[in-house]
Amino acid sequence: GSQVRTEMTRAVVLEEKNVLRLRDIDVDEPFTADDVRIDIHSVGICGSDVHYYELKQPMILGHEASGLVTQVGENVTHLKVGDRVCMEPGVPLPNSPSVLRGQYNLCRGLRFWATPPPAYATNLTNDPSWGAGHGCLRASVVHPGAFTFKLPDNVSLDWGAMVEPLAVGVHSCTKAHIRPGDVAVVSGAGPIGMLTTMAALASGASHVYVIDLNPRKCQVAESLVPGCVTGVHIGAVDPVQAILEATNGRGADVIFECAGNHKSAQLTTKYAANGARIMLIGCPPTNPVLDVGDMQVKELSVQGVFRYANVYPQAIALLGSGKIPLDSIITDHFNFDDSVKAFDYMVKPDDHTIKSVIHVKSE
């Protein structure tokens, strides 16, 4: 394949731990017949972008993006110049055992935007940009066509940038095998919990109980899909009692841990129904203690989930059908020039904030 080198480009660069700068940087990104080039439009700011990494070299941030196709490799048949698209930030090694099994998110050689690759992975390729782990907060990226998805006309580019975090929720709901009418719990009403709540309702749950320490988050959650969400403010009520009472003692059928907290995780087995599936999305700094007794007498299963695989088309279809309206999720907007300010704000955002979006391309 022909290799067209990307020019010097303006980008949001993490120079070293905690030092963020908007500056020009040289990105050496090959373009093959399997790739497309995309002009970036909107980029969401994610929790993981904010708590900074130790780096070996400066790295461009950003992994939740949408944009416009400007060049199409000859092997790519499903896209054309001008298409409005969003991109899956993780690209696995072709034909790796995990890929062939349909679990490409678990591929050990996966490269993921704005994530410094582990030592064992860097040697797998000679691509210098991959060595740095560069993300997408820049004017344009080269990306494999297989991981680039056309947006329907009624899905905006801002919504398109939200497909990445939404995909976490949709993947969890897919793996949870929600049966139509199931009662769900989401513990932790950060952006991931909010999106998972909407995904669970779109996936067949009849009601979601959303637990949080912050009463304001509980209220916001209730407003997302009125009548289908009950906020459970952990300071005001006992969540176990509240959920058991609301379900006539039966408990919740599917549970999504989105707080990233060991106490939140430990509570799940208490309000779980017989045969419930508990999905661990949150990444707790301290590991939870598992109540084996609860897990046995109710035959519970606890399932770890890691990002997503094969759910971008599904999440986009749900956006296109209007079943997951994201307007209430995107609460804050920033210009590209204010990117550093945006990241600073997201370290400790106001309670009303769910997701912030940076507009790389100013309209």
Ligand X SMILES: NC(=O)c1ccc[n+]([C@@H]2O[C@H](COP(=O)([O-])OP(=O)(O)OC[C@H]3O[C@@H](n4cnc5c(N)ncnc54)[C@H](O)[C@@H]3O)[C@@H](O)[C@H]2O)c1
Given its own copies, Zn ion, ligand X, none, residue 30, with its beta carbon under 5 to 8 Å by kind, binds none
Q: How far apart are the first and last CA of the chain?
A: 34
Using CB under 6 A, which of 214, 266, 310, 353 touches ligand X?
214
Place of tokens 């997201």: 346
323-352 footprint of ligand X as x/- string (CB under 6 A) = ------------------------------
Place of tokens 């439009």: 41
Least separation in angstroms between CB 223 and its own copies: 15
Query: What is the footprint of Zn ion within residues 7-66 (CB under 5 A)?
Result: 46
Q: In what order do the strands lie in the sheet with 8-16?
A: 19-26, 8-16, 59-60
Using CB under 6 A, which of 114, 183, 198, 234 touches ligand X?
234
Given Zn ion, its own copies, ligand X, none, residue 332, with its beta carbon under 5 to 8 Å by kind, binds none
Angle at alpha carbon of residue 210, lines to 207 and 211, rounded to 5°: 145
Helix (H, G, I), strand (E, B) or coil at 202: helix
String of DSSP letters for 14-38:
EEETTEEEEEEEE------TTEEEE
245-264 footprint of ligand X as x/- string (CB under 6 A) = -------------xxxx-xx
Region for residue 272 given its phi and psi (left: phi exceeds 0; alpha: psi -120 to 50; beta: otherwise): beta
The residue with its CB nearest to ligand X is: 190
Phi, psi for residue 318 in degrees, rounded to 5: -65, -35
219 binds ligand X (CB under 6 A): no
270 is written with which tokens? 């208490």
Given ligand X, Zn ion, its own copies, none, residue 21, with its beta carbon under 5 to 8 Å by kind, binds none
| Candidates 160-168, 177-185, 186-194, 260-268; binding stretch for Zn ion (CB under 5 A) | 160-168
d(CA 219, CA 31): 47
243 binds Zn ion (CB under 5 A): no
**Residue 36 or 305 having the CB closest to ligand X:** 305
Query: What is the footprint of ligand X within residues 274-313 (CB under 6 A)?
Result: 281-283, 296, 305-307
Phi, psi for residue 227 in degrees, rounded to 5: 90, -15
Where along the sequence are the contacts to ligand X (CB under 6 A)? 47, 168, 187-193, 211-214, 217, 234, 258-261, 263-264, 281-283, 296, 305-307
